[in-house]
Structure 1
Amino acid sequence: MLNKIEALLTEIKSLKAESAAQAEELRIKYLSKKGLVSSLFEDFKSVPPHEKKAVGMALNELKTEAQSTIQQLRDQFENAEPSGSGSDLTLPGTSFPLGGRHPLSVVRNQIVDIFARLGFTVAEGPEIEDDWHVFSALNFPPEHPARDMQDTFFIHKDPDVLLRTHTSSVQVRVMEQQEPPIRAIFPGRVFRNEAISARAHCIFHQVEGLYIDQDVSFADLRQTLLYFAKEMFGQETQIRLRPSYFPFTEPSAEMDISCTLCGGAGCTMCKNTGWVEILGCGMVDPNVLDNCHIDPKKYTGFAFGMGIERIAVLKYQIKDIRLFFENDIRFLEQFKSAL
């Protein structure tokens, strides 16, 4: 028995393998349940009692050596670096597809760039706001019916803590903190408790603008918006201003542009009128200036606001606003060229 063990031990110490498959074959040959080492353990049952100690120690040494040797053979193939056979390392690496900006980000950046040429800076503010900055400072008294124009998300049933319904709240913060002249735009996300449909969403994005200085007139507002419309939609674009009402501007107006699809001839997009509404605007109400500690007798200003989704819908002729929020890669990939 000891001679068999010694012979098998010598054989195991000299084992070699040229592949992981050969190493696995050796493991099966020596260490499986029907392997050579296991068969010797079966024969151990018939060894005379006075030899069991010596034979048992020899068997344990054999098993340990077999496990160690075969594991080393397996490791050398598992840890080996790929040979690179069949690969040309001088070839350029595989390129990964580049992503693109979201269409709302594309349009936002275009709007910011256009107004930057006119000297407008960018200011941002918190999305969770208080009643003063969203309503009261903007000429919305507590019982003013204009508050019903915007369905508000209140936080923890606290009427003084809410999700902003417009980025006009940032205008208030800038006017409180900065002396005129002020020339800034305010892009950001806003929230209104509205039913989600192809034309509306409870989350959307705005860009508002504010210009306050001495002798600012409605003519300045009109020329600023005309420049924006031509830069955004093309030099042939025309605008018109219609009287409207906003609590924080007086006089107030809605601005339309000539339809980008039919050029003003009339189509389904413009409801055969030739015009499409894109934003609201007006001269800043003196009460708002006074609330923000700006002398309304010395300074005047104008403000405007537009929905980024609205501009994107017109620019790219998108029929369902919900597409902006679904992150369908088939939809988003269409805007890579717009970067």
Structure 2
Amino acid sequence: MAVKPILASSLIAKEEIGLFEERARKRLRVGTGCAAVDDALDGGFVYGRDGIYNISGATGSQGAETISLQLLITHLLASTSHTATLIDATGNLDVLKLYRSIITRLSNSNHDHEANVTLATSTLDRVKIMRVFDFEGVVEGLNELIDDLEGRNVPKNTIGDSQEEAEDEMLDVGSEEKVEEEKKEQAGMVLINNLSQVLGLLLKNNYAQGQATLTTLVRRLRNTAKEHNLCIILLSWSVTYGSDQERVSIFESIKARPGLGKSLGYLVDTQLLIDAIPRTAKGKGAASDMVNVIEVIYSGGNHQAGKFGVFDITVDGEINPM
């Protein structure tokens, strides 16, 4: 005897749909302060669930690092309880630039320079910097971060129990909302710069092993982000794709794709590409004729693939909408 089908819509109440959408709107987000960029990101990056982002930019370009720096500043200034950990594999981290950018942001709303200096200095006290030289260093840095968050020693390379993830999925809407509210004041940010620096050679020598290593890393980062309400930003380099490869950008003039391969986009929650496009239809390709564009090329979380924002970078490292 055939089982009589029922409509999926009958299994969920309109009130539950409304609570789900309301919770999504209320989620804590961190933006750059640039309307054009933040609109493309639906208000900004989220913390916890769906909070792992990869930003790919051309080698030597300041776009990806500038965007991540502005996100970091917004995060730190949103609450005195917000902390950040920077795992730096490039050696290019300019702490003085970070300090000056904080001063510039504060000066937009407060003209008391002495007060801004005091606040900017205290803000740096909530930023931990880990200088690493290889992938093992990234793992060690992550271990140290988790130890600090949990206040105890944990086995290295531990990946969250799948049973715990299943139990989390069973939480009702009200419980999830309560957890989100409790964690807002404990939000943290992790910035890893640059994954291409530490994984590029491994992927070149043994692509399968490199992808397995990358998968394990992102899975562990996801568990950590979810457990401790973190926004995790991974920076990587983009490369020019060949004629036989699929285009990832909606812009004809952009010939770039994430350098760590398409699979990274499906491992993280949101994959972003930053490149340059002609300022006008008659742009000749000179630096003065180009503007930066950030584009969502994949998202399994809170953002919509295909959305983009156009911006300029000032000499002070600020980002302005076009």
TM superposition score normalised by structure 2: 0.25
Bigger RCO of structures 1 and 2 (CA < 8 A, at least 6 apart): 2
